[in-house]
Amino acid sequence: MKIAFVASEAFPFAKVGGLADVLGSLPQALKTLGVEPTIFLPWYWGIQGYYVGEVEFRFEGRLEQAGLGHAEHQGVRYVLVGLGDFARDRPYGYPDDFRRFVRFALATAELLRDFEIVHAHDWQAALLPLLRNLGWFKARTVYTIHNLAYQGVWGSQDFYAWTGLPGETYYGAGLEHHGTINLMKAGIVNADAVTTVSPRYAWEITTPEGGEGLDGVLRAHQHKLRGILNGLDTQYWNPATDPYLPYPYHADDLSGKGQNRRALLAQFALEDRPTLGVVSRFAHQKGIDLIAEAMDGLMALGVNLVVLGSGEPQLERTFTWMAQHLPGRLAYVQGYNEALAHHIYAGSDGFLMPSRFEPCGLAQLIAMRYGTPPIVRAVGGLLDTVRHWETGFMFDSADAGGVLHGVREFLKHPDREAVIRQAMQQDFSWDRPAAAYLELYRSLLGH
Ligand code: ADP
Ligand code: GLC
């Protein structure tokens, strides 16, 4: 079965968040099940690939060429699709992001003729199911929503000049949403199957509270919507073999975890207290502001924090300022740092994740695998993966009081080592989810 995955991130080539982890491990898991996966990824600056030629496509009313590169990760082929003048060193954050990814989708669509399934991820690839319905290629299409909050919205008809698509697709193919172009909506409407990354989130997005304005559309397409929980690359995320860790460890012998903890505390000159880790994008979704609001209370409870992350500048400034004023108790490192992330997962006593919403969440899975009980808000994939008091801790309210309640639960548990062991024994591999995707692909192909 030949499957094309199309997405804007894939580890280790380009990573902002969990989308990259999925595109760097689900195809590999499917390959062991006999599938032939190819991943199509924008060729951002700095990604090493072998130039293999180019593809011609129409953009802005003329024929254009996109350079093509090949790269490989764990035996799976990645095709890098050149972005021309739209290449940048990071995936997002530019004023022309919408146009960049429309161009990426149009170029990629020319490469999909030999595939039986095209599996598009998030708004950056959401145009593909519509292009299939216009006859550009023949594959069955799956569209996965990793985050409904980012929809690929564009307020003007320039879209039609860029793509050359027939004007009737505005209303006729689900592109229009409240007077704007909405690629997420078009993905949902046009795909043969729509999935999201946890069963709970699959339900939440059909409600007005979780639907980000698209709950009505999702309810209308509920018959083809389902949640499949993400897995982890359990070889990469393995505390027994992780090359980033000074002291490897195992559920049966946690002494290395204690040594990593001491090293982490020493690195940031923290007092010897229960220490909570945070590794996160600084976005409204993640409730990082709730941690800031709860900071006085957290200090009063006697915990330390080690925080790694970047995103909203105001939050970065707040944490920089707070860390300066709380030496020995709060460490903050701004930026993306793979090595430090591993240290924090391994060396912390608990992992704090107060998300307002969470489609799946991989950070809490990694934390559990590293024996660091997550303290999470009871929402989305967090609710589907953490068991309160058994493998982690949960709280309900999205405010400072909620965060403090969760941390109090963590502190009062009488046998934290049992929680650590139970967390480490969970199976968060791709075995089950990959089999679920395969079953979905098969059903779409009528097998
Ligand atoms: P999201 O995709 O919404 O950001 P997930 O929990 O699904 O959330 O995935 C986040 C992924 O990104 C995890 O692999 C996490 O370790 C990683 N990550 C997030 N922020 C950073 C950072 N600042 N440095 C290193 N890794 C990070
Ligand atoms: C998104 C979501 C996150 C999910 C990830 C991978 O970034 O925010 O919850 O784990 O996609 O599916």
Residue nearest to atom 3 of ligand 2 (CA): 361
In the numeric block, the tokens 């957290």 are attached to: 298
When pLDDT is cut at 50, 70 and 90, the band that residue 208 belongs to is very high
**Where in 105-208 does DSSP place strands (E)?**
117-121, 140-145, 153-154, 176-177, 180-182, 193-196
Tens digit of pLDDT for each residue in 4-47? Answer: 999 999 999 999 999 999 999 999 999 999 999 999 999 999 99
Within 253-308, residue ranges assigned H as helices are 255-267, 288-293, 295-301
Tell which residue, 244, 243, 225, 197, has the closest CA to residue 382. 197
Please state the rounded mean pLDDT for residues 151-173: 94
Residue nearest to atom 10 of ligand 2 (CA): 361
What tokens does 235 get?
């070889």
Tens digit of pLDDT for each residue in 278-313? Answer: 999 999 999 999 999 999 999 999 999 999 999 999
Given a cut of 90, is residue 315 above it in pLDDT?
Answer: yes
Q: Does any ligand 1 atom lie closer than 6 A to the CB of residue 236?
A: no
Domain with CATH 3.40.50.2000 in the chain: 2-231+431-445, 255-424
CA distance 376 to 205: 19
CA distances to 186, 281, 315, 349 from 287, in Å = 29, 10, 10, 20
Confidence at residue 9, expressed as pLDDT on a 0 to 100 scale: 98
Confidence at residue 157, expressed as pLDDT on a 0 to 100 scale: 80
- CATH architecture for segment(s) 2-231+431-445: 3-Layer(aba) Sandwich (3.40)
Q: Which of 306, 336, 348 to mutate to test the pocket of ligand 1 (most atoms within 8 A of CB)?
A: 336
What's the whole-number average pLDDT of the chain? 97
Please state the rounded mean pLDDT for residues 92-96: 95
Cβ 318 vs Cβ 326: under 8 Å: no
Confidence at residue 73, expressed as pLDDT on a 0 to 100 scale: 98
Strands 275-282 and 304-311: parallel
- CATH architecture for segment(s) 255-424: 3-Layer(aba) Sandwich (3.40)
30 Cα–ligand 2 center, Å: 19
Q: Which ligand has its closest atom nearest to the C-alpha of 228?
A: 2
Q: Report if pTM > 0.95.
A: yes
Which are the contacts of 258, defined by CB distance < 8 A and separation ≥ 6?
none
What tokens does 253 get?
């012998």
CA distance 353 to 283: 12
Q: Does any ligand 1 atom lie closer than 6 A to the CB of residue 244?
A: no
Q: Percentage of the chain surpassing pLDDT 90?
A: 99
Tens digit of pLDDT for each residue in 29-39? Answer: 999 999 999 99
Confidence at residue 198, expressed as pLDDT on a 0 to 100 scale: 98
CA distances to 124, 166, 174, 185, 222 from 171, in Å = 20, 11, 6, 11, 20
Strand partners, 193: 142
Given a cut of 90, is residue 156 above it in pLDDT?
Answer: no
In the numeric block, the tokens 């970047």 are attached to: 310
Question: What sign has the CA pseudo-torsion 298, 299, 305, 309?
Answer: positive
Confidence at residue 138, expressed as pLDDT on a 0 to 100 scale: 98
Please state the rounded mean pLDDT for residues 85-114: 97
Please state the rounded mean pLDDT for residues 310-322: 98
